[in-house]
Amino acid sequence: MRLLRIGARGAERPCAVGPGGVVRDLSSWVADWTGEALDPDALRDLAARLAREGGALPVADPAAERVGPPVRPGGHLLSIGLNYRAHAAEAGLALPDEPIVSSKAPTTLVGPYDDLLLPPGGEKTDWEVELAVVIGRRAQYLPDRSSALDHVAGFSTGNDVSERSWLLERGGQWVKGKSFESFSPLGPCLVTPDEAGDPQDLRLTCRVNGRLVQDGRTADMVFDVAHLVWYLSQFMVLQPGDVVLTGTPGGVALGRPDQPYLRPGDLVEAEVAGLGTHRQRCRAVLLPDGPREAP
């Protein structure tokens, strides 16, 4: 099943792709894609009901209305660093012995076609196409990797946008370079595991102004999805709606000789094959009273 949320920011309605590829408004069945509605068993039951009764639900048109992030904002956003061999190689860094974990502010989560806001003074904003994992069932102290995927609601296309100047040049934690508004576009759909297929056999691509800049496969991950969910559960409680951005392949601006960081007007297109494509236009944030002293 493919889940999405359609509507103005803060007023999105839960929808799903029903029989015949028609998008249906499910707001009469579920309040939103959050909490118990994301439980894998609940989603299986809902898919069966949608096949039986979906024809009676209102039609939603994602081409006519804004598409929001496929899960309600507010959950934990986690970012895994250096989790692709090619990306570690381009950065000139050794492969990590354990997953590198950062977090992102909830306000970074936006829809797949919302503008990408370049922060004031940000000269090194970088793209990072990623496979996003959405948690569907509470996970804590999982006993082993084999049970980890039972706690996953589905997968989506993510872009773990980073402002490298705050990430690498200011000291402290990576969260500073990853928490600007709009830095976690997600969607357009949340695809349940039965339809998404093997999460370790997916192609990821990113284009900037039509130029292919990233082209990798999830098979290049250092730590696979099951390992990441199991690992995170050892030191935090994962809740339904939490999003794990599982790392990016090679090809980021930081790793290129000319370091072509994003500029206003650039178009960024990120895709995970079978899960959907983002299209974000970059726009500079203009402060109402002009430039301010650098912090």
pLDDT digits (tens, 9 = 90+) for 13-23: 999 999 899 99
Residue 49 has pLDDT above 60, yes or no: yes
State the alpha helices, DSSP H only, in the chain: 40-53, 85-91, 164-168, 175-178, 193-196, 225-233
Query: Other CB atoms closer than 10 Å to residue 48's CB: what's the count?
Result: 11
Residue 293: the pLDDT is 55
pLDDT digits (tens, 9 = 90+) for 197-248: 999 999 999 999 999 999 999 999 999 999 999 999 999 999 999 999 999 9
Query: What is the pLDDT averaged over residues 5-27?
Result: 96
Residue 172 has pLDDT above 90, yes or no: no
pLDDT digits (tens, 9 = 90+) for 92-112: 889 999 999 999 999 999 999
CB pairs under 8 A, 24+ apart, for 147-151? 147/230, 148/225, 148/226, 148/227, 148/228, 148/229, 148/230, 148/233, 149/193, 149/199, 149/225, 149/226, 149/229, 150/40, 151/40, 151/229, 151/233, 151/238
Residue 287 has pLDDT above 90, yes or no: no
CA dist 253 and 148 (Å) reads 33
Residue 27 has pLDDT above 60, yes or no: yes
Query: What is the pLDDT averaged over residues 249-261?
Result: 93
Candidates 265, 213, 237; CA nearest to 90 is 213
CA dist 76 and 132 (Å) reads 13
Q: pLDDT band at residue 288, thresholds of 50, 70 and 90? A: confident
Query: What is the pLDDT averaged over residues 127-150?
Result: 97
Q: pLDDT band at residue 186, thresholds of 50, 70 and 90? A: very high
Cα 200 to the center of its chain, rounded Å: 16
Residue 291: the pLDDT is 58
| C-alpha torsion sign, points 173, 99, 152, 26 | positive
Query: What is the pLDDT averaged over residues 21-48?
Result: 97
- Which backbone phi and psi does 259 adopt, to 5 degrees? 40, 65
Residue 290 has pLDDT above 90, yes or no: no
Specify the pTM: 0.95
CA dist 72 and 116 (Å) reads 19
Residue 25 has pLDDT above 80, yes or no: yes
Q: pLDDT band at residue 279, thresholds of 50, 70 and 90? A: very high
Residue 286: the pLDDT is 81
- Which backbone phi and psi does 273 adopt, to 5 degrees? -55, 130
CA dist 151 and 140 (Å) reads 10
